[in-house]
Amino acid sequence: MKEKITYRDAGVDVDAGNRAVELMKSHVRSTYRKGVLGDIGGFGGFFELDLKNYTHPVLVSGADGVGTKLKIAFMMDKHDTVGIDCVAMCVNDIAVHGAEPLFFLDYIATGRIVPEKIEEIVKGVAKGCKMANCALVGGETAEMPGFYEESEYDLAGFAVGIVDKDKIVDGSKIKEGDVVIGLSSSGLHSNGYSLARKIFFEIGKLSVESYVEEFGKTLGEELLTPTCIYVGAVKKLLSLRIHGMAHITGGGFFENLPRILPQGLEFRIYEGSWDIPPVFSMLQRMGNVDDREMYRTFNMGIGFAIVIPEEEADEALKLSKALGFKAWIIGKVVKGEGGVVFCRP
């Protein structure tokens, strides 16, 4: 008689998956805001739109992941902050258009479900959602033995927000003479980690436990610093005449800023006009990376850029600093052939 085989024998533990759901429930519920319908366990997440404050509502969506920053979480066996990164990468993208995030969904795929580890990941996602004032209404946890290593996972997210059609910020109002306000980043955020890992661990022979005097903490702690969430700052800054915004992520300055430029204009970015965090200087020095490569790979200390009329710049700086972000005038819009040109102020 043939031996009976189960799904668990193939590497998928349904009971562990169910236990992970039970452990994450309180974290998920802690994110609920007005509009959430139902509870955990349905096949879909429900969100009721309150349209009283909108004349022509438009939904704005975004999706992203954490990338190879997850490798640092694996190395440190610390999983409660990468969820913040996942939320930040999505909600910052939709905030660029003036949209208020409403709800979020996550996707976790792993070689083996360890319920306590999944709870830690989702705890971070929930914290990020609360920071962005959006509800975590659903998600998926997939156990995929043979596809992922047992101790590893991938994490992606999906955000949906809302904005009035006539209030969409898309860069079309940008004009010559506008200035660029840069809001500080917390470090690498969630981009450039493949290069950072090569420089720090292969070339520099450092480990996540290496204490770095310039950082005042271990390398691992620096590299796991969560991505800033700019949603609250953008909401306040929208009281001003914002002509364009950009989330400075993968592709750095050279790919993100040009996306919002009308034809016939270019950005002049002033070198030395803001404080560059030590992690970037160390990467450049240790890896012998040229300036252009640094600025097209990393955020270099600017996580979010706002294009605004020059006469509103002082108020934008004041508001940004009151909201906890260092902020600088980092550039100007001039006539040109498009793109970004670095120069001295």
Residue 293: CATH number of its domain: 3.90.650.10
Distance from C-alpha of 47 to C-alpha of 50, rounded to nearest angstrom: 9
Please name the residues in contact with 53: beta carbons below 8 A apart, sequence gap of 6 or more: none
Tell me, yes or no, whether 3 lies in a domain: no
Are 106 and 152 in the same domain? yes
Contacts for 87 with CB less than 8 Å, ≥ 6 apart: 104, 125, 128, 129, 131, 132, 134, 157, 159, 229
Instruction: Check: CB of residue 219 under 8 Å from CB of residue 286.
Output: no
For residue range 20-69, what is the model confidence (pLDDT) as tens digits? 888 888 998 999 999 999 777 678 889 999 998 899 999 999 999 999 99
156: which strand partners? 65, 107
- The answer to whether position 47 is within a domain reads yes
Name the amino acid, one letter, at 93: D
Q: Is the pLDDT of residue 1 over 80?
A: no
Residues 6+ apart with CB under 8 A from 59: 160, 161, 162
Whether residue 121 is contained in a domain is answered as: yes
Residue 282 lies in a domain: yes
Q: What was the pLDDT predicted at 43? A: 83
Calculate the CA dihedral of residues 322, 324, 325, 327 and round it to 10 degrees: 20
Contact predicate 139/40, CB 8 Å: no
Q: Is residue 50 situated within a structural domain?
A: yes
The beta strands (E) that lie in 280-321 are given as 302-308
Residues 204 and 267 in one domain: yes
In a domain, 60, yes or no: yes
Tokens linked to 264: 């016939």
**Domain span at residue 230?**
179-343
Whether residue 236 sits in one domain with residue 314? yes
Nearest CA to 248 among 291, 294, 299?
Answer: 299
Q: What is the full DSSP assignment across 119-149? A: HHHHHHHHHHHHHHT-EEEEEEEEE-BTTB-
Give me the pLDDT at residue 3, please. Answer: 76
121-149 mean pLDDT: 96
CATH of the domain at 49: 3.30.1330.10
Question: Sign of the CA dihedral 80, 103, 327, 334?
Answer: positive
**Would you state the pLDDT for residue 259?**
93
With CA atoms as reference, report the closest residue to 91 among 285, 265, 234: 234
> From residue 183, how far is each of 233, 326, 339 by CA, in Å?
9, 6, 20
Please compute the mean of the pLDDT values over residues 78-82 and round it to a whole number: 98
- What average pLDDT does the chain have? 94
Residues 190/249, Cβ–Cβ less than 8 Å: yes
One domain for residues 185 and 124: no
Q: How confident is the model at residue 72 (pLDDT cuts 50, 70, 90)?
A: very high
- What is the distance between the alpha carbons of residues 257 and 303, in angstroms, rounded to a whole number? 12
Q: Is residue 210 part of a domain?
A: yes
The total number of structural domains that make up the chain = 2
Structure tokens at 228: 């800033």
CA distance linking residue 268 with residue 179, whole number of Å: 9
Residue 163 and residue 248 in one domain:
no
Residues 205 and 160 in one domain: no
Q: Mean of the pLDDT values across residues 258-269?
A: 95
Angle, helices 115-132/14-29, rounded to nearest 10 degrees = 20
pLDDT tens digit sequence for 171-202? 999 999 999 999 999 999 999 999 999 999 99
Residues 192 and 149 placed together within one structural domain of the fold? no
Q: How many CB atoms lie within 10 A of CB 177?
A: 12
Confirm whether pTM is higher than 0.75: yes
Given this model, what pLDDT does residue 228 score?
98
* Element (DSSP H or E) covering residue 321: helix 313-322
Q: Of 137, 167, 197, which one is at a domain's C-terminal end?
A: 167
Closest CA to 106 of 41, 67, 158: 158
pLDDT band at 10 (very low <50, low <70, confident <90, very high): confident
Is position 173 within any domain? Answer: no
Q: What is the DSSP letter of 178?
A: -
Identify the bridge partners of residue 136 per DSSP, sorted by sequence position.
104
Residues 100 and 211 reside in one and the same domain: no
Same domain, 121 and 198: no
